[in-house]
Structure 1
């Protein structure tokens, strides 16, 4: 353990040395906005996450990278996404920061913690490799990157009733032929939760003397809007009044909770009055299903927490919950499908799903899109759209894939009864995904390696959250963002941000204007220039440059 002490202040080091090392669970949801949890202002029922927040901490200025693949790469490695090789998606852009696969000069949290004696488990969405075929190269699959056990999908999106690239261990499976898991109704969110609970239960039975690391990566609430009827029914009529009353109620509740200040509410892209009357029932249903997806995820986390309680492991388990990006404005499935499938046979028990957007369900029924079909069932493939995403991102601007606050702001809940005495407290400390690795290293007593598997490893970028468990901090630091030319840098209260490669820089005072409505770039040109130069310096250092093929 002595090797890690140089990273720590002495009091924290002594605490880590004398206390049992905690189990660590990192839970990530998909395509959810900053205001979508009850404890961050939402009307959606999330009693489990609310309970964890009430028994621990909520961070109000925590950041992801604005998109699923780079967020996962950054979270897993403690590096900026480009340093990990996934600055965009899982396509090869030909440059070191854009390989579309986790780099070998990066280590995962599972690799670091496994070397420190942790058992390592994962359930859910991987999405940090371009190699998807079950008979192809698996060198960047979970079991090859430090996990002892894995159940989930190698890529993101796809049907929640028939997931694309569904895998247990290294074996491709289907909902019908998984002999280890046959619920009455298969639903991927439930499957992720149930496998996570199973790993915790079996760990207690066979390996309780060792700590464990569990990574739970839900696909809720990413499109398609798929949910179970029982969960959708809870929200029937909830959104019939449209966007404005929901967004206003969230805004006021968030201020009451203290998770935002009295910043101006950013403009909405469209009013409910201007949305076509003939499709309003469909639009409301989209949000009903979205809410049901979040609700179902919370129920699954509740089962996981119950398993921890029943096995006597909850008290010394650090649970961290966060989201991969802001609400998704993409118009996926919001127009009718041009050529719906016809005369399709049901799929066989062993027949693998090979498409992100299936032509038909496993039962052989065509998968439909557009406002003439209500979302929810397996035979639909629809996203909830820009207007509801704007509600999810209350009170911020922009959406998933952007580096304005609506794209990169995430809740972070931290719960650990033995290690966090604070209850229902807020932390204003600015933080980033890169901080999770540093936190795990500090708490586990692990040594972050300079070399791993014969490869020189990049130093981790983050700063541990452990000191903030006892009191709030305001560390002097710089945070960097870039994705498809959208970019930002935050230093202290100042944030410089742009909407694309050739778009102008905007400058904001985040302390007083986090909704980014008062651009100060013209009134503070020297500061904007200074931050732009700092962004270029950091971008060169962290492999944003050279840009992928075709970009200048």
Structure 2
């Protein structure tokens, strides 16, 4: 029986035909938010994929939204793809705020291998957002056959900014192709992803497909339908500490973290929070957003099962950065209403066909002012707030720092792989470090695709050996964002905040980065710093801030 199992495990990946591919990317979530990574939020669909697939315990992103997306789409470090920072042009090759024309996207390369290509969700790799402006870096021009989502990086979940169908900006309230009973962007992403799968099965059943599903959950603003939030009412009333402790204990039992390494220090105490009901509500809405996203993943899986494609579809799930400590709309009003919703609208309504004009809208469609400030309870369309540093620290349990920084809390993501026909090591943990630069190399490996001549060579490594429990060889991994920088070589990580000194950690023994060994091992620091400097020069990294004062409009 054991021999038969071993033979089946070794033969199945080799015999599998080229798989379909689904990449799911979530937004602004921490290492411990999913149930299968220690969280209390209900994520049964992702948990099921993990139970029947593979979970990486040391997978990394680039600490920020658009650099991660550029890197994921190209298999390059973000600066090499032209998106070393955000969506502004600093007139430097690595900082154009626009996907590099020499790079090739997953969709472009997989299309040459015979794949149909679809995307639903957040694009965020171009600074060109206008309906009448350049579209050379919009999804259809970068290899996708169909697209529905936002071109920009954020906005209301009830009235998304830069909402686009294929090449045309649309209003969700004047869209003839999609008329739900009530509009919620997470559900719209799911509905279009499943529509593309159904259409593919009907119209292109002889071809494999690549589907990129880029949810904006759980990025601010904290928006979720009342029925989704109701499930979590009261769940976070006891504050940060018990939730963080429970996540730590569960993650340790799952084998994801070493409990002997304890936790990083917490930035806030629940006892010091002035408006505890509002703070608890922020996490209630956040949890509802995550669960709604997970429900969408379940719908995608159900459609794959319905069309008979689940077994030979490679599904990967990951997140674009760690939990977000940004204070968007939490503490200052900036001229906006701080307090409860008015009894009646006070502004003229906006016509259905008018497109939202700003990332943070001044009002809702029906004329209510959008509220921000310390007394605003999150959730409805007329609010626009983030969940804050205290809960971001909980999301990143047990690690240090947040989105923006390249300590472990900023760059650590769950990475779930599900492919029944091609993953032998099912239901297991993979402790091999991986990085989102590896996704392209992996997909091209399993799809039999190659990067065309003239494009930059991939930076990542195929993770396919890890699917069978094997190692993935590499020399080093690198990070830089806003002057925060790091390099990892084996178990050693050299990391620094912008303007700060190098810190050295043995992440095998100290992944929470509590015991800085830089002073004790100066030779290792020098060697790793030199390796980082060589990479930075090669990868188009500039000193931060980049040519300040020369940013192009």
TM-score by length of 2: 0.94
Deviations 1:133-172 (A, max 9, x none): 0111000000000000000000111100000000000111
Is structure 2 residue 317 aligned with structure 1 residue 318? no
- Measure the CA separation in 2 of the matches of 1:220 and 1:362: 22
RMSD between superposed Cα atoms in Å:
1.7
- Aligned residue in 2 for 1:300: 296
- Contact kept? 2:463, 2:472, Cα under 8 Å: no
- Contact kept? 2:81, 2:100, Cα under 8 Å: yes
Is structure 2 residue 338 aligned with structure 1 residue 335? no
Residue from 253, 265, 280 that aligns with 1:267: 265
Deviations 1:341-361 (A, max 9, x none): 784211111100010000001
- Aligned residue in 1 for 2:424: 421
Deviations 1:59-100 (A, max 9, x none): 010000000010000000000000000000010111101011
User: Superposed, which structure 2 residues align to 1:527-546 within 5 Å?
Assistant: 527-545=524-542
- Measure the CA separation in 1 of the matches of 2:335 and 2:276: 25
Deviations 1:448-485 (A, max 9, x none): 212xxxxx211011100111101142534200000010
Unaligned runs of 5+ in 1: 1-11, 451-455
SS at 1:284 equivalent: helix
- Aligned residue in 1 for 2:467: 469
- Aligned residue in 2 for 1:6: none
- CA drift of 1:17 comes to 7.7
- Contact kept? 1:400, 1:406, Cα under 8 Å: yes
- Aligned residue in 2 for 1:490: 488
Is structure 2 residue 378 aligned with structure 1 residue 380? no
- Measure the CA separation in 1 of the matches of 2:315 and 2:397: 25
- Aligned residue in 2 for 1:211: 208
- Measure the CA separation in 2 of the matches of 1:540 and 1:210: 41
- Measure the CA separation in 2 of the matches of 1:115 and 1:266: 46
- Measure the CA separation in 1 of the matches of 2:381 and 2:254: 37
SS at 2:227 equivalent: helix
SS at 1:129 equivalent: coil
SS at 2:280 equivalent: helix
Deviations 1:415-470 (A, max 9, x none): 011111332100001110110000111111112212xxxxx211011100111101
- Contact kept? 1:264, 1:513, Cα under 8 Å: no
- Measure the CA separation in 2 of the matches of 1:429 and 1:448: 25
- Measure the CA separation in 2 of the matches of 1:420 and 1:293: 30
- Measure the CA separation in 1 of the matches of 2:154 and 2:503: 32
> Greater CA deviation, 129-138 or 333-342?
333-342
- Contact kept? 2:28, 2:321, Cα under 8 Å: yes
- Measure the CA separation in 1 of the matches of 2:55 and 2:23: 15
- Aligned residue in 1 for 2:64: 67
Residue from 85, 89, 94 that aligns with 1:92: 89
- Contact kept? 2:24, 2:213, Cα under 8 Å: yes
Deviations 1:343-402 (A, max 9, x none): 421111110001000000111110001232210000000100000000000000000010
- Contact kept? 2:12, 2:421, Cα under 8 Å: no
- Contact kept? 1:16, 1:444, Cα under 8 Å: no
Unaligned runs of 5+ in 2: 1-8, 338-344
User: Superposed, which structure 2 residues align to 1:122-141 within 5 Å?
Assistant: 122-141=119-138
- Aligned residue in 2 for 1:20: 17
Residue from 506, 517, 521 that aligns with 1:520: 517
SS at 2:104 equivalent: coil
Is structure 2 residue 186 aligned with structure 1 residue 189? yes
- Aligned residue in 1 for 2:340: none
- CA drift of 1:283 comes to 0.2
- Contact kept? 2:13, 2:422, Cα under 8 Å: no
User: Superposed, which structure 2 residues align to 1:274-293 within 5 Å?
Assistant: 274-276=272-274, 279-293=275-289
- Aligned residue in 2 for 1:3: none
> Greater CA deviation, 489-498 or 469-478?
469-478
Residue from 217, 221, 227 that aligns with 1:220: 217
Is structure 2 residue 408 aligned with structure 1 residue 410? no
- Contact kept? 1:428, 1:473, Cα under 8 Å: no
- Contact kept? 1:289, 1:375, Cα under 8 Å: yes
> Greater CA deviation, 363-372 or 509-518?
363-372
Matched residue count: 533
- Measure the CA separation in 2 of the matches of 1:73 and 1:440: 16
- Measure the CA separation in 2 of the matches of 1:309 and 1:336: 48
- Measure the CA separation in 2 of the matches of 1:184 and 1:83: 43
